[in-house]
Amino acid sequence: MQNLAKFLATAFICLILVNFSRAQENIVTLQPAKAKTVINKNIYGHFAEHLGHCIYEGIWVGENSAIPNVRGIRTDVVTALREMAIPNLRWPGGCFADEYHWKNGIGPSEKRPTMINTNWGGVTEDNSFGTNEFLDLCEQLGCEPVITGNVGSGTVEEMSQWVEYVNSDNISPMTDLRKANGRQTAWKVKFWGLGNESWGCGGSMSPEFYFDQLMRYSNFARDYGDNRLYRVAVGPNVDDYNWTETMMRLWSKKSPWDQRLMNGLSLHYYTLCNGWGDKGSATAFNEKDWFSTLRATGRMDELINKHLAIMDKYDPEHKVGLVVDEWGNWFDVEPGTNPGFLFQQNTLRDALVAGINLNIFNNHADRIVMANIAQMVNVLQSMILTRKEQMVLTPTYHVFKMYKVHQGGTLIPITLSCRDYTVDGESLPSISVSASKDTSGKMHVTLVNLDPNSENSVTVNMGINQNVAVSGEVITSKNMNDYNDFGQVPKVVAAKFDKFKVSNGQLVVALPSKSVVCLEIAAK
């Protein structure tokens, strides 16, 4: 009996060790045969608010500027964003949207009235960048405009006339006004936000009160010609599940006609290192801050799952899409800058946050129709920083440029098992991943290694029985807080990646520490 007991104990220990060993393996299994959901390109959208130097100096310099421009819009910024394949741009806010009156931003610039930007720094807004300039910018970028209307301090008539000015080719006062301002044909803008953060800076409304406003504003935001509006209603802040519950419950009780007046529901969630009180430095941080930030950004998946569960309860046919139209890192402003301008640097940590979130959005492509990182230039987790004639492409820019291969691709279902990344007894999965297949049949796999200290060996089961050619790119750097700065050689950029081996339908990847990697797998 003693020998039997010893044998069983030894076998049990061996079993534990085997299972432990397996738990430490990093295995990604692709299922390309099950790929059917198209990743909406608009998941890769952006956001430009009248905030700090996002619009003025970042995008708009005026036609008389020595900085190269086309009709006042910076050429270098447009060129960089086109290379990144920007699909859509949300404007004019943000909190600014609900104090913005669009008629003040049209006509001869010298005749446009000024206003005080009470939300962001209390500076004077001269309205030199308005509707016509924004839509010119979108045409230069080749992207879809997303206009957020003023529900907080505006009127139904004001919103209705804005849609008419932009979209109508009928004979009407607003059409005549647009033509008088130099634009003969309608822009046919599809995406319209009906308010912004109505639970906060957009009016401090209850969900019931906002829903009543939504129905009024939606009703008078008309379709013109063959253009059908996609109306985005204000959704929850972070984990306000009651807001989602109330909006969807009230929506579900409406007639089929009324239901069409809300096509999308927004979600806002910012990644905070230490919470709203002490957001932490964008550049001076340690591994504990690194871990806290990545843990916080990973919560996006939980929020999406829980809000979608509520939406699906009232909308099993998925008529209403989820629109994550504000997301990204929010740190303390750079020392010496205006606190109201939200200018922060952008490090390798931001690159990983971008990669993680884009993987999350890809993997929810069946329900997420759009997302907009905050913000495009010079504000929060931006793509681009400008200083007079100089321009810097941030680590986040390079991630978006790398991930553009997913736009319009078909999502490949995956399974992932991976080891944990642990700091001070707390753990996170060390790897984030998503995959897609483009129209030519090439597969793209994007991987993020959250561990700043250790390389991760990842086995990718490709799910195909044929010879393949594999190529790759990587974004990483020597230090976790490296960033790209004016007048300096960029430290965080995309580079060629070839640390992988292909054998018997498997791809074994040596994923560098603190990195974002994109692999392309093509049949020979």
Positions marked active-site: 197, 326
Q: Are 139 and 77 in contact (CB under 8 A)?
A: no
Task: State how far the alpha carbon of 204 is from the alpha carbons of 128, 162, 200, in Å.
Answer: 29, 24, 4
Q: What CA–CA distance (Å, rounded) separates 239 from 370?
A: 19
Q: Tokens 């054998």 identify what position?
A: 503
First-to-last C-alpha distance (Å) of the chain: 60
Q: In terms of C-beta density within 10 A (0-12 exposed, 13-18 middle, 19 or more buried), how is residue 226 classed?
A: exposed
**Count of C-beta atoms within a 10 Å radius of residue 13:** 10
Q: What CA–CA distance (Å, rounded) separates 114 from 63?
A: 19
Provide the token pair at 203. Answer: 């009016």
* Residue 142 per-residue DSSP state: T
Rg (CA), the chain: 24
Provide the token pair at 319. Answer: 């008529």
- The torsion angles phi and psi of 509, rounded to 5 degrees, stand at -115, 130
Express the helix, strand and coil content of the chain in percent, nearest 5 each.
35, 25, 40
Provide the token pair at 396. Answer: 């986040």
DSSP β-ladder status, 456-461 and 506-511: antiparallel
H helix runs in 364-517, sequence order:
395-403
For 202-222, give the secondary structure using H, E and C. Answer: CCCCCHHHHHHHHHHHHHHCC
* Residue 391 per-residue DSSP state: E
Q: What CA–CA distance (Å, rounded) separates 300 from 302?
A: 5
